[in-house]
Amino acid sequence: MNRAFFLCIIFFTSAAFAETGDELLKRADAAANNCKDQRFLITMTIEGSGATKVAKLETLEKGGEKRLIRFLAPGDVKGTTILMDGQAMYVYMPQFQKVRRVASHAKQQGFMDSDFTNDDMGSITWSSAFTAETLPETDKAYKLKLTPKPGADVGIEAAELTIDKQSLIVLQIDYLAGGKAIRRQTRANIKTFGQFVRPTVITMENLTKAHKTTMTLDEVKINTGIPDNLFTKQQLERAQ
């Protein structure tokens, strides 16, 4: 067989089976949610403005769509509970003793004075709200640029993701405004829990000022049988 013809066959065959950005993004979402449920105990450390704040919280997730966050300490936020169910977000604050829905415009506010926004904490998957295009990759990582789908209820202009080729874990997220990165999330200290791979240190850095928030996963439990009814507004009201 003619060598040039053979190389053309390889080229066009590879191109035909090359993943699109959207397909790769879906696979990364699946890798992060490849279980029935997961539970994390987290230490959140906020550093900036010459001060350090530390909080303890518990996060429960189920089905790649539902998340419940409970603050365990310190005392001034203890008992605060946030529920994410699809696009809906609810918060219970002990001082008001009432469950309130978080308005769309408030999703970009800082989450409990941290560098994470309410939307960051509520978003479990990317592919439902963003379109992805591939960027030049490295030997070890894929790179994607994400832009919101028409009508998507998100508060960011665009984002760039770095994804580990082996585990499909998202290692870095740059949040863009005006074409420039204004915040950067990094995920490190990757560990294996049975068949599941998870980052255990997640840092959000504000690139416009000296301020950052680090979440350290002190405990990870996967597939423990978390009941569905925990992830409802009605249960949130009854539990308080």
Can you give the pLDDT at residue 17?
56
Residue 11 located in a structural domain = no
DSSP state string for 195-231: TEEEEEEEEEEETTTTEEEEEEEEEEEES----GGGG
Can you give the pLDDT at residue 110?
87
Residue 8 located in a structural domain = no
Can you give the pLDDT at residue 103?
83
**What are the residue ranges in the chain where pLDDT is below 70?**
1-17, 239-240
What's 229's domain CATH number? Answer: 2.50.20.10
Domain count, the chain: 1
165: left (phi over 0), alpha (psi -120 to 50) or beta: alpha
Can you give the pLDDT at residue 2?
58
Q: What's the alpha-carbon Rg for the chain, to the nearest Å?
A: 20
For residue 59, give both structure tokens: 């996060």
Residue 168 located in a structural domain = yes
Closest CA to 131 of 23, 229, 207: 23
Determine the structural domain holding residue 70 and report its residue range.
Answer: 29-239
Question: Which residues touch 195 (CB under 8 Å, ≥6 apart)?
Answer: none
Q: CA 197 → CA 69, 142, 166, distances in Å?
A: 21, 17, 11
CB 203 within 8 A of CB 46: no
